[in-house]
Amino acid sequence: MERNFKDYALISLKGIAMGAADVVPGVSGGTIAFISGIYEELVTTISGINLGLLKEWREFGFSSMWKKANGNFIIALFLGIAISVFTVMRLANYLLENHPILIWSFFFGLVIASIWFVGKQIPKWNAKIITALVLGAAVAFYITTLPPITGTQSPFFLFIAGAIAVCAMILPGISGAFILVLLGAYKTISEAIHDFDFKTIGIVAVGAVVGLLSFSRVLKWLFLKYKAVTLAVLTGFITGSLNKIWPWKEILETVTIGDKDMVIREQSVLPQHFDGDPQLIFALLLMVAGFLLILILERVATQQANA
């Protein structure tokens, strides 16, 4: 695919959106990739990174290898993700701490629209497709109810955490950041990014690369062989994740880590049962804004595809 600078700038913007979603526990960057029209290219590109590229380099030169690896796409996308992670994470942490209902309402609207968008990609619905959707939703819902475990800061643990979380990050509906919370590694990694602790960041990044290269091959195979069922499972994943990002929660249990209290168990409640100001009007407006944002992203991706 021939692209110009404007095309790659747009891919970087999509990367920024993916990174912004990935740093929020409960929202998946894979969902953004799917909606913005680059999901299958991302999975195919990553799964194509192997030792065969070195042979391509030796026989035909660096330019041929770079083109075969879709290198410009990778650089543009991951540049956007990196920019987002090192900038948006601070803003996301501030908003989640100070305006949780409003930020979760926005993401709830975004995810509702994502369910509709991914689901409509399925050409024909039948009992097998519906079963796959229900199973995907059940698995995702169960994950959102799990309490975090107590993690460690050992290099091996951080390597494994990075490998597992990145697999979730490229799955629409499964939040990589939330997986890090469950593993007890989110605070360690977010502090490393905040403090520019490149040793910790590097260990997690190596784990993420290993996990990404391995899992992307599984995803590519699933899309080639069982695309409709895979889409149904992904739609279910996104649906099941709604429990995690429901704006109104009742806190059941917290634990103190350092000077902060971390919620380890909570349950969704209706706005009228929320202990505090439910901010219902603003929450509903932000839900609508999140929903409309997905429609806009879809239209932009469709226009780009038809250009």
Residues 142-145: contacts with CB within 8 Å, 24+ apart?
A: 142/240, 143/174, 143/178, 143/182, 143/240, 144/26, 144/178, 144/240, 144/241, 144/243, 144/244, 145/243
Contact between residue 102 and residue 286 where contact means Cβ atoms under 8 Å apart: yes
Report which residue type is found at 156. Answer: F
pTM greater than 0.85 (yes/no): no
Q: pLDDT tens for the chain, 307 residues: list them.
A: 678 888 899 899 888 888 877 777 666 788 788 777 788 888 888 888 888 888 899 988 999 999 999 999 999 998 998 888 778 767 777 787 788 898 889 888 888 887 887 788 888 889 999 999 999 999 888 877 877 666 567 888 889 888 888 877 777 766 677 777 777 777 777 778 777 788 888 998 899 888 888 888 888 888 888 889 988 988 888 888 888 888 998 887 766 655 556 666 778 899 998 988 999 999 999 999 988 887 887 777 677 666 6
Q: How many CA atoms lie within 13 A of 129 on its CB side?
A: 14
